[in-house]
Amino acid sequence: MKAVILAGGEATRLRPLTCNTAKIMVPVLNHPFLEHFIAYLKKHNITEVILALGQQITPIQSYFGDGNKFGVKISYSEEDSPMGTAGAVKNVERLLDSSFIVFNGDVFTYIDLTAMANSHREKRASVSMALTPVENPTIYGVVETDNEGKVQRFVEKPSWDEVTTNMINAGIYIMEPSTLSYITPNVFSMFERDVFPQLLKEGQAIYSYPSEAYWIDIGTPEKYLKLNHDLLHRYEGIKFEGESIVHPSAQIEDPVIIAEGCFIDKGSIIRGPAAIGSRCQIEEGAIIESSVLWQNCKVGKGAKLRNCVVASNCCIKEESILDNCVLGDNVKIGKGNKLSQGIKIWPDKSIESNAISF
């Protein structure tokens, strides 16, 4: 079965992390999100992947190539303009000659794809849709089903008085090629709004596959940080990916993963869950707690970071304190700044004075 990964959106909710980096390339435990995705697919013997992309295709192709070194075959489809979830799949119709699986490109999950595929075949469904429970279904697409799991109705982002279930569309579909005839070519269209309701209207069988397995949408920096934390807690321990220099007096409290080429100076503390990207420099007495640093970041003497995401090539000077902040690429934080309250700083910005404080 081939997998189509929908990654053509602009990832505006995940900014400033995605100002310069495609969403499927943001590092999760120091490796591109897509690399984790591919490993998940391979566990279910899915080794042919089609990437439906809108922009930033070059760095993705440069890293993954044809997929051979990752044990899969990757094809690329580039959109000149946004086509929506259904339009993007229609664009690659020529590659889909049997049952195929579609993923929203911002979903990380352990849903059992093998069991879902077996259910799809047993029920002879036109579409099988993974469902997952959430605490707040009003920000997603609710799916109502009958006692046999057959889909009856879709309600996109319902108000609380419209909510009849907490089971939402998990953004994973197994589909038959015949369903693609319901999508108009070269037109922006969405499965949830334009295709699935029409399939129901015409009596096509859409079945649900409910699952309580781990599922998260990494569409925001907060959810992105949570995914890193969740995965670190699964790994536990302290892991070095390659050689780094760590002073004997530095403290590293698991779970922590540290990429190659890092320098961790005396008296510094890294408290997990934390991920430190390659070639980062943590200076004397600095404290990093529950944070994710990308590549080539420098954290100055005595600086403190807590619950932060710091993109590549950032410099945080001595004695600065950052709590619950998100920094885009190439951000510079001057000496002694105190930033919190969910501050997000766009790439290439500098904060030289203590203009924003707790």
CA neighbours within 13 Å on the CB side: how many for 231? 24
pLDDT of residue 358: 41
Which architecture, in CATH terms, is 2-219? Alpha-Beta Complex (3.90)
Answer whether residue 356 shows pLDDT above 70: no
State the Cα–Cα distance between residues 248 and 233, nearest whole angstrom: 25
Angle of CA points 344, 334, 337, to nearest 5°:
65
Mean pLDDT of 195-212: 92
pLDDT of residue 147: 87
Average pLDDT, the chain: 92
When comparing pLDDT for 281 and 141, which is higher? 281
- What is the per-residue DSSP string for 42-84? HHTT--EEEEEESS-HHHHHHHHTTSGGGTSEEEEEE-SS--H
Nearest partner of 108 among 231, 17, 233, 191, judged by Cα: 231
pLDDT of residue 354: 61
pLDDT interval class at 81 (50, 70, 90): confident
Contact 107, 171 (CB under 8 A): yes
pLDDT of residue 357: 47
pLDDT of residue 355: 53
Q: What is the pLDDT of residues 286-343, one digit of tens each?
A: 999 999 999 999 999 999 999 999 999 999 999 999 999 999 999 999 999 999 888 9
Q: What is the pTM of this model?
A: 0.92
State the Cα–Cα distance between residues 288 and 310, nearest whole angstrom: 11
> What is each CA distance from 42 to 5, 109, 111, 238, 273, in whole angstroms?
14, 14, 13, 26, 27
Answer whether residue 156 shows pLDDT above 80: no
- What DSSP element (H or E) covers 149? none
pLDDT of residue 308: 97
Range(s) for CATH 3.90.550.10 in the chain? 2-219
Q: What would the CATH number be for the domain defined by 236-351?
A: 2.160.10.10
pLDDT of residue 154: 81
pLDDT of residue 153: 84
Tokens of 231: 């995965």
Looking at mean pLDDT, say which of 151-155, 167-171, 331-335 comes out highest. 331-335
pLDDT of residue 292: 98
Mean pLDDT of 22-51: 95
The label of the residue with tokens 């640093």 reads: 293
Least confident window among 8-17, 101-110, 198-207, 222-231: 8-17
Range(s) for CATH 2.160.10.10 in the chain? 236-351
